[in-house]
Amino acid sequence: MKSGRKATGGRYKRPKKKKLTGRTSQTRIVKLGDNKTKTLKTRGGKKKLVSFLGNTANIISKGKGKKSAIKNVIETPSNTFLARQNILVKGAIIETELGKAKITNRPSQEGNVQAILIN
């Protein structure tokens, strides 16, 4: 048979070339500390605000939003080691000035912390 063909006559698909758009970015870890954010360029000329450190959260309780300081990360259901290192991730339960709150967004993707009060 000709090269590049199967025994049945069908042809093999060549693997795709590596492209710049196929690269993955470095994982960002958002820790508890003074606010530190950065803007990244994304596809289509848009910009994304990402955070590396955060100490305030936008907390929603009874339909009203308030800004509050984060004191500590109490627990993280996805990984217990993240709470020990005070890393802010989605689903983490944090201690704030208003009380305990659960993070509802992904701080590493959005540049801020959104949470719902749980008491």
26 against 119, higher pLDDT:
26
- Domains contained in the chain, number: 1
Does some domain include residue 104?
Answer: yes
Structure tokens at 102: 């659960």
Mean pLDDT of 1-19: 83
Asked if residue 18 is part of any domain, the answer here is no
Tell how far CA 96 is from the center of its chain. 20
pLDDT tens-place string over residues 63-110: 999 999 999 999 999 999 999 999 999 999 999 999 999 999 999 999
**pTM for the full model?**
0.79
100, part of any domain: yes
Residue 93 located in a structural domain: yes
- In the chain the beta strands, taken as DSSP E runs, fall at 31-32, 36-41, 47-54, 56-61, 64-75, 93-96, 100-103, 114-117
Q: Identify the domain containing residue 45 by its residue range.
A: 24-117
CATH classification at residue 67: 3.10.290.70
